[in-house]
Amino acid sequence: QVVFALNQTLLQQESLRAGSFQIPYTTEDLIKHYNCGDLSSIIFNHDTSQVPNFINATLLAHERITAQEIDSYFRQELIYKRNERMGRRVKDLLEEYPDKSFFFAFGAG
């Protein structure tokens, strides 16, 4: 899976450099939407998330299965488990220091 993910990442980077693949958004787009309070699911959906997406129509059947396994792993480890850890830490702090004020800031995935 690591070799597959590395190869797919390199292919994506080569396509970006060649101009045959473009990222659907820019950093400026994300900043503009954030500043406008428009954090809609369109901006932060699967296709624009920072989680690598290796699933595409050019993959063979066994490659598609590998890509789906990697995608599932990344989502579980980088998004869901991270959110659970942050939630526990916030809860623990609030319970440990009930008379303190806190400010928490979280990324959008």
Instruction: Kindly state whether residue 109 falls inside one of the protein's structural domains.
Output: no
Domain span holding position 18: 1-94
User: Is 49 within 8 Å of 43 (Cβ atoms)?
Assistant: no
Segment 10-57, tens digit of pLDDT: 887 888 888 877 666 677 777 787 788 776 645 555 454 444 566 666
CB 51 within 8 A of CB 23: no
What's the Cα-to-Cα distance from 24 to each of 8, 38, 43, 107, rounded to whole Å? 18, 17, 10, 19
The answer to whether 16 touches 23, Cβ cutoff 8 Å, is yes
Domains: count for the chain? 1
Q: Look up the pTM and report it.
A: 0.48
Q: Tell me if 105 is assigned to some domain.
A: no
User: Each residue of 52-86: pLDDT tens digit?
Assistant: 566 666 778 888 888 888 888 888 887 889 889 99
